[in-house]
């Protein structure tokens, strides 16, 4: 079964609002997590990663939060734009292999 999983399969967001996409993982030994974005007709694209020695990491308009206590991570997108409409995947590295969870489809409303 999946080692990482998303909480909600879909998310609808008003343009300009912040988006929060959640993901849970089951293996407490997991120490490296990654978020990917997949736009329609394209392959997944790396967004940001975080290792277990951190609980927060920021990129351009994105923040990843890691809560090791409850084995949960989230991706926050600030000021969501139409170009953020995509499927978002959380993933983890286990034994050098990248394993993906099911995605969350984010739709941005104008």
Partner 1 sequence: ETGVTQTPRHLVMGMTNKKSLKCEQHLGHNAMYWYKQSAKKPLELMFVYNFKEQTENNSVPSRFSPECPNSSHLFLHLHTLQPEDSALYLCASSQQLNTGELFFGEGSRLTVL
Which residue lies nearer to partner 1 by CB, 60 or 96? 96
Q: Of 82, 81, 79, whose CA–CA distance to 17 is shortest?
A: 79
Strand partners, 65: 56, 74
* CB nearer to partner 1: pick between 13 and 64: 64
Nearest distance from residue 73's CB to partner 1, in Å? 13
Please, what is the minimum distance in Å from the beta carbon of residue 11 to partner 1? 17
Report the residue number, 32 or 67, with the smaller CB distance to partner 1: 32
Q: Is 54 exposed, middle or buried (0-12, 13-18, 19+ CB in 10 A)?
A: exposed
């Amino acid at each position: 079964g999946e080692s990482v999983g998303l909480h909600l399969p879909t998310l609808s967001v008003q343009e300009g609002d912040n988006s929060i996409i959640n993901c849970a993982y089951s293996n407490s030994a997991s120490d490296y997590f990654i978020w990917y974005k997949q736009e329609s007709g394209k392959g997944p694209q790396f967004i940001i990663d975080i290792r277990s020695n951190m609980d927060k990491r920021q990129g351009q308009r994105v923040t990843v939060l890691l809560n090791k206590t409850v084995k949960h991570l989230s991706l926050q997108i600030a000021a969501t734009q139409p170009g953020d409409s995509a499927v978002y995947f959380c993933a983890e590295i286990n034994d050098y292999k990248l394993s993906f969870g099911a995605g969350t489809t984010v739709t941005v409303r104008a």
